Amino acid sequence: MNTLAVGIRKAEPADAQAIADVHHEAWRGAYSGIIPHRALNAMLRRRGPDWWANAMRRSATVLVVEIGGTVAGYATLGRNRARGLTQQGEIYELYLRPEYQGIGLGSRLFAAAREKLAASGLKGMVVWALEDNGGALSFYEGAGGRDAAEGVEVFDQKALKKVAFVWD
Ligand SMILES: CC(C)(COP(=O)(O)OP(=O)(O)OC[C@H]1O[C@@H](n2cnc3c(N)ncnc32)[C@H](O)[C@@H]1OP(=O)(O)O)[C@@H](O)C(=O)NCCC(=O)NCCS
């Protein structure tokens, strides 16, 4: 049996195309039928490789998980943006290509993102997930997150509830 090496590292501008591909596939898989078609397509179009290369240049922290040399997922992280929550860090996004979901890579990427935030001196962490994204809710509950706040995101006039999970 072949063993594929798994690694997690900071993304570089050369990863922009691979991350854009992961983003495209993962968001389509997670949000088709939840976020209205037009709004989802518009978001996917905007987030091409140039958008990701720029995001990295503007110093957003992006981590990638690789398996056997393929970028299977990414996470973006930084300071918590919600004023009502006292936790200082936030994972903004955590997404895996559909074919790499469910084999533990998300848990490893999540742990690495959490360590990175702590190493930057940020105490506590927040992650938001759409309430209709049942898989994400199970994942964050399983990772010990406490359901601490609710919000709403509007996509093409469709209001969707989101839930904040926190870790102190
Ligand atoms: C959510 C996501 C990051 C989880 O990563 P993953 O590698 O698939 O999850 P893991 O294999 O590490 O699983 C960890 C735990 O979460 C649970 N879990 C993960 N995905 C799940 C799903 N879709 N439904 C139910 N439980 C799920 C697993 O059962 C597992 O629990 P266990 O340890 O008790 O077996 C990944 O599936 C993904 O990218 N999904 C689509 C995009 C998305 O929803 N991202 C989050 C947006 S906020």
pLDDT given for residue 2 in this prediction: 64
Any long-range contacts for 104-110 (C-beta under 8 Å, 24+ apart)?
105/6, 105/65, 105/67, 105/72, 105/73, 106/73, 106/139, 107/143, 108/6, 108/8, 108/65, 109/8, 109/63, 109/65, 109/73, 109/74, 109/75, 110/75, 110/139, 110/143
Q: Which domain holds residue 89?
A: 6-167
Residue 59 is predicted with a pLDDT of 75
* Residue 157, pLDDT score: 92
**Ligand 1 pocket, mutate which of 34, 101, 141, 163 (most atoms under 8 A from CB):** 101
* Average pLDDT for 37-59: 94
| Confidence band of 3 (pLDDT split at 50, 70, 90) | confident
Residue 1 included in any domain? no
Q: Would 146 be classed as within a structural domain? A: yes
**What's the pLDDT tens digit per position in 58-107?**
878 999 999 999 999 999 999 999 999 999 999 999 999 999 999 999 99
Q: Report which protein residue has its CA nearest ligand 1's atom 28.
A: 139
Q: In percent, how much of the chain has pLDDT > 90?
A: 95
What pLDDT was estimated at residue 1?
Answer: 56
Query: Does ligand 1 lie within 6 Å of residue 135's CB atom?
Result: yes
Using the predicted structure, report yes or no on whether residue 48 has a pLDDT greater than 90.
yes
Instruction: Give the list of residues 6+ apart from residue 87 with CB closer than 8 angstroms, or none.
Output: 80, 123, 124, 125, 126, 166, 167, 168
pLDDT number for residue 96: 98
* CA of 103, closest atom in ligand 1: 11
Residue 40 counted as domain residue: yes
Q: Is the CB of 104 under 6 A from ligand 1?
A: yes
- Give the pTM: 0.95
User: CATH number, domain at 157?
Assistant: 3.40.630.30
Whether residue 144 is contained in a domain is answered as yes
Asked if residue 150 belongs to a domain, the reply is yes
pLDDT, mean over the chain: 96
Give DSSP secondary structure letters for 79-109. E---TT----EEEEEEEE-GGGTTSSHHHHH
Distance from Cα 101 to the centre of ligand 1, integer Å: 7
Read off the pLDDT of residues 123-151 as tens digits, 9 standing for 90 and up.
Answer: 999 999 999 999 999 999 999 999 999 99
Specify the number of domains making up the chain.
1
